[in-house]
Amino acid sequence: MQQDEVAARVRQVIDAAGVSAREFARRIVIDPSKLSRSLNGTRRFTAAELARIADIGAVDLGWLLGSAAGAADGVDAAVRPASGAAATASPVRSASAPRPPTPSPEGGRPLQIVRETVRLIAERGFHAVRVADIAAACHTSTAAIHYHFPGRDELLEAAVRWCMDEDTRRRADATAGTRHAGDELRLLIELQTPRTEQQRRQWCVWLDLWAEAARSTTVGRLHVEYYRQWRGTVADVIRRGVEQGVFRPVDPDGAALALTALIDGLASQVLATEPDGRDDGVPGTGAQAMHDALTAHVDACLTAPTAG
């Protein structure tokens, strides 16, 4: 089947999902620019990407590739449950590719694999996590893991991208509708303070990925992309705060760089403490101390003297 025909069918799947191409890229855990290039015909979809598209879109992989069983029916037939006469016309799963032995979980098998990978990285570190461990956590086979993510590098890239997307989504949800720049900056600080088990787990993953970024070009590129977005978010809030008169007339980019670096440094210290924020009685190393230090930094270096 020609590349442009495959792209046209993927477009049908995206349209049927009722989401933007960027959101669909998030669901199949790939770079939105890769999806865009593949849809425009300047890049080929990989076999694993097509497998994830079929899984998330609830369509047959053979149909995506133009098999005779499903070519005439289109995406509407591809997503219908096969029953009676419709079963003859509806596409069937390709027998040549291994499939997970159990039905796909909510959100699809690829997202389950990535979520469990992230959880295991937080608990053990990336290099201590085996594909067999991920398969066991997903109650599936190693063949099913490799079907969606052929190698560890691709799986790590997907895990990093998922963490980036989840972090960005949480920030957007938490600050939606916040107009006062000072309040929004403090909300961002609260989100980055590892108080809860979920926040600590998230930071453990980031620390592991930082180390991997120094060794992996792909992870390093994602690391640069994430921090560009994160610092840009903080800089935009500071810029608005300057315009509102909430913050001093500082350089937003420089202030954002200093604040995000301070967050990273303090978080790495907090993670070395006990979950309750204490480390053998050493003061100033817990999550609350980190939060207090960050807000004190904002008050001393950013907040305008006349701001309420």
Which of the four pLDDT bands, split at 50, 70 and 90, describes residue 82? very low
Pairwise CA distance, residues 43 & 191, whole Å:
37
17-61 pLDDT, tens digit each = 999 998 899 889 888 899 999 999 899 999 899 999 998 888 888
Q: How far apart are CA 92 and CA 85, in angstroms?
A: 14
How far apart are alpha carbons 140 and 208 in whole angstroms? 25
Instruction: Read off the pLDDT of residues 122-162 as tens digits, 9 standing for 90 and up.
Output: 999 888 999 999 999 999 999 999 999 998 888 888 888 88
Cβ–Cβ < 8 Å for 16, 76: yes
What's the CA dihedral at 147, 151, 155, 158 to 10 degrees?
-90
Per-residue pLDDT at 160: 86
pLDDT digits (tens, 9 = 90+) for 84-101: 333 333 343 443 444 444
* Averaged pLDDT for residues 238-246: 96
Q: From the CB of residue 121, how many other CB atoms can be counted at a distance below 10 Å?
A: 25
In 3-state terms, what secondary structure has residue 19?
A: coil
SS3 of 247, please? strand
Which residues contact residue 79 at a Cβ distance below 8 angstroms, ignoring those fewer than 6 apart? 16, 57, 58, 59
Rounded Cα–Cα distance for residues 304 and 267 (Å): 26
